[in-house]
């Protein structure tokens, strides 16, 4: 049992009050060559058992169920997909342990509401985005500011069909952390380096970076067509 009785009790209290609609957790995992996959599977089982009517867990092996892994663009294990009646593009890559457990729980709650926790002004501005944006948030399990940045990214993904949110455990994915020069966390990388910034920024500032990335993307496309 990974979750203590006290944590289970707190979690039951949160989920029974906050969950509105059904949430599907899809875990992509494999037995060989993945140190945290088994723990991730056990953790998600324990979470889903607390509210089995509202949380459904499906476990896939990318090596066996390749078509499913391909459909969800899975490149690494463990990867957790949090989806509602549709896939919002929310992924957690790694084991959501330590302080990142709250990211998992808040992500489940927000997806269950089928609406982002963002201001009306932000939601309105996101409607102008019509090109794919991938927000990669690098986190560690001991970082106090990381859950805030991760949840903000998830909310943007819920708000826009063009935005994906990938929360990446930097210590479990050192090659990615090195590639994107992650020194401090949370580090946010949009479209694999188009725009980057560090720190848990307030909603308005985070939105500014997203709009900046979108405008850069448009300029690059226009220059390519010229």
Instruction: Tell me: do 83 and 125 sit in the same domain.
Output: no
How many whole angstroms separate alpha carbon 45 and alpha carbon 53? Answer: 13
Establish if 176 belongs to a structural domain.
yes
Instruction: Tell me: do 6 and 62 sit in the same domain.
Output: yes
Establish if 180 belongs to a structural domain.
yes
pLDDT of res. 224: 79
pLDDT of res. 47: 98
Establish if 223 belongs to a structural domain.
no
Instruction: Tell me: do 89 and 149 sit in the same domain.
Output: no
> Which of left, alpha, beta for 70 (phi over 0: left; psi -120 to 50: alpha)?
alpha
Residue with tokens 């069909």: 161
pLDDT of res. 226: 57
Instruction: Tell me: do 86 and 124 sit in the same domain.
Output: no
Establish if 104 belongs to a structural domain.
no
How many whole angstroms separate alpha carbon 142 and alpha carbon 22? Answer: 30
pLDDT of res. 225: 74
Instruction: Tell me: do 3 and 66 sit in the same domain.
Output: yes
Domain containing 124 — which CATH number? 3.40.30.10
Instruction: Tell me: do 84 and 131 sit in the same domain.
Output: no
How many whole angstroms separate alpha carbon 189 and alpha carbon 200? Answer: 13
Instruction: Tell me: do 84 and 56 sit in the same domain.
Output: yes
Q: What range does the domain containing 44 cover?
A: 1-97
Whole-model pTM: value is 0.97
How far are the Cα atoms of 16, 92, 217 from residue 95, in angstroms, in the given order? 24, 8, 32
Establish if 56 belongs to a structural domain.
yes
Instruction: Tell me: do 5 and 73 sit in the same domain.
Output: yes
Q: Is 204 exposed, middle or buried (0-12, 13-18, 19+ CB in 10 A)?
A: exposed
The answer to whether 182 touches 105, Cβ cutoff 8 Å, is: no
Strand-pair partners of 60: 28
Establish if 226 belongs to a structural domain.
no
How far are the Cα atoms of 78, 188, 191 from residue 40, in angstroms, in the given order? 7, 24, 27
Instruction: Tell me: do 129 and 76 sit in the same domain.
Output: no
Establish if 46 belongs to a structural domain.
yes
**Whole-number CA gyration radius for the chain:** 17
The tens place of each residue's pLDDT in the chain, 226 residues long, gives 999 999 999 999 999 999 999 999 999 999 999 999 999 999 999 999 999 999 999 999 999 999 999 999 999 999 999 999 999 999 999 999 999 999 999 999 999 999 999 999 999 999 999 999 999 999 999 999 999 999 999 999 999 999 999 999 999 999 999 999 999 999 999 999 999 999 999 999 999 999 999 999 999 988 877 5
Instruction: Tell me: do 14 and 56 sit in the same domain.
Output: yes
Instruction: Tell me: do 13 and 88 sit in the same domain.
Output: yes
- Residue 120: both structure tokens together: 């009306």
Establish if 225 belongs to a structural domain.
no
How many whole angstroms separate alpha carbon 29 and alpha carbon 48? Answer: 17
pLDDT of res. 109: 98
Instruction: Tell me: do 81 and 160 sit in the same domain.
Output: no
- If one counts the domains in the chain, the total is 2
How many whole angstroms separate alpha carbon 94 and alpha carbon 76? Answer: 8
Q: Please tell me whether the peptide bond between 78 and the residue prior to it is cis, using omega within 30 degrees of 0.
A: yes
How far are the Cα atoms of 79, 104, 106, 164, 221 from residue 167, in angstroms, in the given order? 10, 10, 13, 10, 27
pLDDT of res. 183: 96
């Amino acid at each position: 049992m990974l979750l203590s009785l006290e944590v289970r009790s707190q979690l039951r209290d949160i989920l029974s009050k906050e969950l509105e609609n059904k949430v599907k957790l899809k875990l992509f995992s494999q037995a060989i060559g993945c140190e945290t996959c088994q723990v991730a599977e056990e953790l998600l089982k324990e979470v889903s058992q607390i509210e089995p009517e509202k949380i459904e867990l499906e476990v896939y092996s990318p090596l066996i169920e390749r078509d499913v892994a391909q459909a969800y663009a899975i490149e690494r294990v463990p990867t957790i997909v949090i989806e509602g009646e549709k896939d919002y593009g929310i992924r957690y890559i790694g084991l959501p342990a330590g302080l990142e457990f709250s990211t998992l729980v808040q992500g489940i709650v927000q997806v269950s509401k089928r609406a982002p926790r963002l201001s009306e002004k932000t939601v309105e501005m996101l409607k102008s985005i019509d090109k794919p944006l991938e927000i990669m948030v690098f986190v560690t399990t001991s970082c106090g500011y990381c859950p805030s940045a991760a949840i903000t990214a998830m909310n943007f993904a819920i708000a826009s069909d063009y935005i994906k949110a990938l929360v990446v455990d930097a210590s479990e994915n050192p090659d990615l952390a090195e590639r994107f020069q992650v020194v401090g966390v949370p580090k946010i990388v949009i479209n694999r380096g188009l725009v980057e910034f560090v720190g848990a920024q307030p909603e308005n500032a985070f939105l500014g970076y997203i709009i900046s990335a979108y405008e850069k993307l448009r300029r690059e496309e226009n220059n390519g067509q010229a």
